Amino acid sequence: MSELHKFIFEGLPVRGMLVRLTDAWQDILARRAANSETGAYPAPVRQLLGEMAAAGVLMQGNIKFNGALVLQIFGDGPVKLGVVEVQPDLSLRATCTQVGEVADNATLSQMVNVNNEGRCAITLDPQDRLPGQQPYQGVVPLFGDRGEKLENISEVLEHYMLQSEQLDTVMVLAADDKVAAGLLIQRLPIESEGNLAGKTDSLLRESVLGQSEDFSRISILTKSLKREELLGLDAETILHRLYCEEPLARFEPFIGETGPRFACRCNRERVGNMIRSLGSEEVEGIIAEQGQVEVGCDFCGAQYRFDPVDAAGLFTGLPPDLPAGSVH
Ligand SMILES: [Zn+2]
């Protein structure tokens, strides 16, 4: 079963999380493979989307926010769009849109940053968003500090964390056809400066320096984790191997009903709203050509069919969200 583990390093301003998506990830892949129009993801696309899915759960698990976290990559190569959406209850869905061939050994930049126009966006969409209120969105390019193209989505997201939250973050991500997994370590902001007010400047500096050394040591341990280990070992083994000398304190894991799991939020009403937004002329054109309007959900593969009567019903003039029974 898919699982998320949270932990802290006792007495040190460092926290961490480990996610392993197994059934949830296999569900996403199986739905894609069953789509007769697209077929299964090629291996490099699968790795990208799996790493994004693991990262999305880590980022949602890391914030106190009542809303969806949406991680998107907008590509200018054969991969046009990758989307991972994680809800506060850790249910998630993910999809990738690919146009054209992806080589078996394609790198991140060959898939999404061919012409230097690839972007990664992180959106926080509040659950109780007011009409007209915009979700918060941060966008980061796929380049490092020296202008080099980044080849790991983990590096892109580490940059984002540093820019948007001013938090030093180390992320290790990996995905194959069975598992999408990630490990995140983050240096917590120093909030104890008030407590140190009585101390001299040099003591304060020493204290901050000490904390920074702790983070460096834990980062090095974290980065030593190999892809095969992250994919092949269980959470207990990984944490024990990496941090057996560190004062690790674990929280109750999120697993099963509280853990990460696949869930799609599509439904007939939302699809109807989307069709309505095309306008009656466009929809009549589709009906004339195809006899019905058929829309497939990219996330779960569900097919929604609107025959001419259903489609006409979308344009009867009722307000979109008003259930028919409530009209007086
Ligand atoms: Zn769906």
The string of DSSP letters for 254-313 reads EEGGGS-EE-----HHHHHHHHHTT-HHHHHHHHHHHSSEEEE-TTT--EEEE-HHHHHH
| Confidence (pLDDT) at 327 | 43
Tokens of 220: 């090095």
In the reported structure, the alpha carbon of residue 296 is separated from the centroid of ligand 1 by a whole-number distance in angstroms of: 8
Give the pLDDT of residue 210. 60
pLDDT at 202 over 60: no
Burial of 255 (0-12, 13-18, 19+ CB in 10 A): middle
- What distance in angstroms lies between residue 94's CA and the mean position of ligand 1's atoms? 10
For ion ligand 1, residues whose CB falls within 5 Å: 264, 266, 297, 299-300, 302
Alpha-carbon gap, residue 34 to 43, rounded angstroms: 16
**Closest C-alpha to 153, from 180, 178, 124, 135:** 180
Q: Is the pLDDT of residue 203 over 70?
A: no
193 or 152: which leads in pLDDT: 152
What letter represents residue 49's amino acid? L
Q: Give the distance (Å) from ligand 1 centre to CA of residue 138.
A: 25
What pLDDT, on a 0 to 100 scale, did the predictor assign at position 128? 83
Q: For the segment 32-74, what is each residue's pLDDT rounded down to a tens digit? A: 999 988 999 999 999 999 999 999 999 999 988 899 999 999 9
pLDDT of residue 132: 84
Share of the chain above pLDDT 70, in %: 90
- Assess whether pLDDT exceeds 60 at residue 198: no
Return the closest-CA partner of residue 47 out of 178, 170, 160, 223.
178
Cα–Cα distance for residue pair 259/60, rounded to 1 Å: 12
CA of 89 to the centre of ligand 1 (A): 17
> Is pLDDT of 197 > 90?
no
106 Cα–ligand 1 center, Å:
28
d(CA 54, CA 24): 11
The model carries a pTM of 0.88
| 50 CA from centroid of ligand 1 (Å) | 18
Strand partners, 180: 21, 175
User: Could you tell me the CA-to-CA distances from 273 to 130, 222, 281 in Å, in that order?
Assistant: 19, 46, 15
- Output the average pLDDT for the chain: 90
Asked whether the beta carbons of 78 and 100 are under 8 A apart, the reply is yes
